[in-house]
């Protein structure tokens, strides 16, 4: 989203050249403004009005951001109380992805020109790019309040700020208000579909996805954050690739994406430990933080030196403290700028940087565009391609979740773990299960469980689940209670499909992982979601001994369930279509001895199956990193002998 400068006004003309310049500025004839201003400055380099006019012209014409910044700084030394100049300086800094500095300039501009809506909008966008959702919303609402009419541009930024801040009702209202005048805007429609999936308000979801394909020209047009489309039914792996490519190009300046990689690997075998770094906004009480903790602890410190960079502030949780202690070096870069983040990682001499967040909230993909390390890797937190080769060289998957046959749908080279690419925390204690009654479950019920995030539920999935409930008279569906509105919507959807809402049991949030795992044992069978599988949620179910039924889908996010089952030694629970999925569930419901045998197998292999063996997982992951480093050294040798360099290859 490009920030656009104001036309401004130039007053106090003392000569004909200045008067002519003023007229050109007021009529926004920016090419002529630039030529005239440069002529004046050639004669008088301290001409304040010409400097200001030139900064306006360069912003409007998309000139060099470095030059805009230099001109604005020069003009501000002459007129430091000019709010419009501070605004132009902030715009130049924003285009350079120096968001933290731009916030200072926009804040000063808003102090000097408090009724200027564009300045508040620019400030809101800078806060948004820093991942400060609350501050972004405040500034954007101020922009809308001070604007004389509907401030559509500010509202377009407000929608994703509200989405990232998980303010779903406000985001929905804003989206719907904008769509009254822009019904065919792909980004608004994409945002609204995601919001409705989050709220389990599905009345318009399936028609909305069909229309999204139409208005985006089969996803050839930009439609906002690529991560929002991952849970949408009917969007293929190739579609996701197109969406991600558009979003990367829309979000990050082409100058950064097209610049050559400035870094080369200076590690040599046996010279020192390989320096591995993990960057994430989820080093906290979060599914990613929980999944990665034991792997970090189990890294062989004789082989690798391990760094952690947190792009989100601490939540004060026990998991955060555990992660801080697990890394040899843990750095909080949450308040740090994109450039400072990249520079810190470079200064630490990182060989391989693994980004665990991608396009999800609180990530810092922009730093990847600057290149923080010679080798950059996309893994775990974002189930898709980042959309541009400058951002990551590899995406870690496995033979089931990401077979090499789908390489053309990914910008990154696919790098395989030998078993599942999903880690889990095998140090977690599984306590005795509580009673069913204590969890609101009927004592004699057959419990079908899917304790996933609400956006993973959708109309086709509920059609399938409710058809199963119709054939399983003593079964209940156990889902999480996210909030009262989502609960009401889910009950409504069950009733619409002819099932008594009493057969939907909603699990309240519990205070600890131990309590969650203990109650999870009450489930008889876990149901995988589609097209966005139950990743860590599915691993949790298998860890406590609850079999999972999954369908092998047609995207990375839709094949993780099958990957988990393969690594757990239960490939027979993988279906290839909805009919096979339903057949498996009904067979296990009717054959309780077979189901009991599967549970016994899971418990017996809890420490031996590849899915649960985190010591083996850590060694396999390190071996993968060393292969990446070896490939980089070989590519560098080839490049030195015969340029250009060979592209990264799958490993």
The CATH class of the 166-259 domain is: mainly alpha
pLDDT of residue 645: 53
pLDDT of residue 648: 55
Q: What is the pLDDT of residues 514-527, one digit of tens each?
A: 999 999 999 999 99
Residues of the chain with CATH 1.25.40.10: 1-113
**What is the DSSP secondary-structure string of 82-107?**
-HHHHHHHHHHHHHTT-HHHHHHHHH
The percentage of residues in the chain with a pLDDT greater than 90, rounded to a whole number, is: 83
The CATH class of the 1-113 domain is: mainly alpha
pLDDT of residue 251: 94
Which pair of structure tokens corresponds to residue 75?
A: 């003009």
pLDDT of residue 2: 36
Neighbours of 197 (CB within 10 A): 25
Q: What is the pLDDT of residues 215-243, one digit of tens each?
A: 999 999 999 999 999 999 999 999 999 99
Residues of the chain with CATH 3.40.50.11380: 261-416
pTM of the model: 0.92
Q: What is the pLDDT of residues 436-452, one digit of tens each?
A: 999 999 999 999 999 99
- Residues, the chain: 651
**What is the DSSP secondary-structure string of 139-178?**
HHHHHHHHSSS--HHHHHHHHHHHHHTT-HHHHHHHHHHH
Q: Is it true that domain 261-416 has CATH number 3.40.50.11380?
A: yes
> Which position has the higher pLDDT, 370 or 23?
370
Q: What is the pLDDT of residues 61-82, one digit of tens each?
A: 877 788 888 998 999 999 999 9
Q: What CATH code is assigned to 437-604?
A: 3.40.50.2000
Cα 203 to Cα 42, 196, 467, distances in angstroms: 64, 9, 19
Residue in the block written with tokens 């948004």: 128
Residues of the chain with CATH 3.40.50.2000: 437-604
The percentage of residues in the chain with a pLDDT greater than 70, rounded to a whole number, is: 96
Burial 359-395, CB ≥16 within 10 A → b, else e: bbbbbbbbbbbbbbbbbbbbbbbbbbbbbbbbbbbbb
pLDDT of residue 329: 98
pLDDT tier, 650 (very low <50, low <70, confident <90, very high otherwise): low
Q: What is the pLDDT of residues 396-427, one digit of tens each?
A: 999 999 999 999 999 999 999 999 999 999 99
Q: What is the pLDDT of residues 86-130, one digit of tens each?
A: 998 898 889 889 999 999 999 999 999 999 999 999 999 999 999
Q: What is the pLDDT of residues 243-254, one digit of tens each?
A: 999 999 999 988
């Amino acid at each position: 989203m490009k920030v656009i400068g104001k036309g401004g006004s130039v007053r106090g003309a003392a000569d004909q050249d200045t008067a002519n310049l003023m007229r050109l500025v007021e009529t926004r004839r920016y090419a002529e403004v630039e030529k005239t201003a440069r002529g004046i400055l050639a004669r008088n380099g301290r001409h304040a009005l010409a400097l200001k006019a030139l900064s306006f012209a360069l912003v409007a014409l998309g000139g060099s951001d470095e030059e805009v910044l230099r001109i604005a700084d020069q003009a501000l030394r002459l007129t430091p109380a000019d709010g419009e100049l501070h605004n132009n300086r902030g715009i130049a800094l924003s285009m350079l992805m120096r968001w933290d500095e731009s916030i200072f300039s926009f804040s000063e501009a808003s102090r000097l020109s408090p009724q200027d809506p564009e300045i508040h909008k620019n400030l809101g966008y800078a806060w948004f790019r820093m991942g400060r959702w609350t501050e972004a919303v405040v500034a954007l609402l101020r922009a809308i309040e001070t604007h004389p009419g509907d401030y559509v541009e500010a509202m377009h930024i407000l929608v994703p700020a509200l989405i990232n801040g998980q303010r779903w009702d406000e985001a929905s209202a804003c989206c719907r208000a904008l769509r009254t005048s822009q019904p065919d805007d792909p980004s608004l429609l994409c945002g609204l579909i995601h919001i409705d999936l989050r709220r389990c308000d599905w009345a318009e979801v399936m028609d909305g996805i069909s229309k999204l394909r139409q208005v985006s020209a089969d996803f050839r047009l930009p439609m906002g954050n690529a991560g929002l489309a991952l849970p949408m039914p009917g969007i293929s792996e190739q579609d996701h690739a197109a969406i991600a490519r558009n979003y990367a190009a829309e979000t990050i300046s082409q100058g950064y994406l097209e610049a050559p990689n400035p870094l080369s690997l200076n590690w040599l075998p046996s010279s020192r430990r390989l320096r591995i770094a993990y960057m994430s906004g989820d080093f906290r009480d979060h599914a990613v933080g929980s999944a990665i903790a034991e792997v970090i602890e189990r890294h062989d410190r004789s082989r690798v030196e391990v760094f952690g960079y947190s792009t989100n502030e601490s939540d004060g949780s026990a998991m955060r403290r555990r992660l801080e202690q697990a890394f040899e070096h843990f750095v909080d870069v949450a308040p740090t700028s994109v450039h400072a983040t990249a520079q810190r990682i470079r200064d630490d001499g990182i060989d391989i940087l693994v980004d665990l967040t991608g396009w999800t909230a609180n990530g810092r993909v922009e730093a990847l565009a600057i290149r923080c390390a010679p080798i950059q890797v996309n893994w775990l937190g974002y189930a898709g391609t980042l959309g541009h080769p400058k951002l990551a060289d590899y995406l870690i998957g496995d033979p089931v979740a990401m077979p090499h046959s789908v390489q053309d749908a990914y910008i990154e080279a696919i790098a395989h773990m030998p078993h599942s690419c999903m880690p889990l925390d095998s140090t977690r204690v599984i306590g005795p299960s509580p009673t069913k009654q204590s969890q609101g479950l009927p004592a004699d019920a057959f419990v079908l469980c899917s304790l996933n995030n609400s956006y993973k539920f959708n109309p086709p999935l509920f059609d399938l689940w409710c058809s199963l409930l119709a054939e399983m008279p003593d079964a209940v569906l156990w889902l999480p209670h996210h909030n009262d509105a989502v609960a009401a919507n889910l009950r409504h959807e069950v009733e619409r499909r002819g099932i008594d809402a009493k057969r939907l049991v909603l699990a309240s949030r519990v205070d600890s992982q131990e309590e969650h795992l203990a109650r999870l044992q009450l489930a008889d069978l876990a149901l995988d979601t589609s097209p966005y599988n139950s990743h860590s949620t599915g691993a949790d179910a298998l860890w406590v001994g609850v079999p999972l039924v999954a369908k092998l889908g047609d995207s990375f996010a839709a094949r993780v369930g099958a990957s988990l089952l393969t690594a757990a030694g239960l490939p027979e629970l993988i279906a290839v279509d909805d009919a096979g999925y339903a057949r498996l569930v009904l067979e296990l419901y009717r054959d309780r001895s077979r189901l009991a045998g599967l549970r016994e197998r899971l418990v017996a292999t809890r420490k031996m199956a590849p899915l649960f063996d985190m010591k083996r997982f850590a060694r396999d992951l390190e071996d993968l990193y060393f292969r990446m480093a070896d490939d980089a050294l070989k590519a560098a040798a080839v490049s030195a002998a015969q340029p250009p360099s060979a592209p990264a290859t799958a490993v």
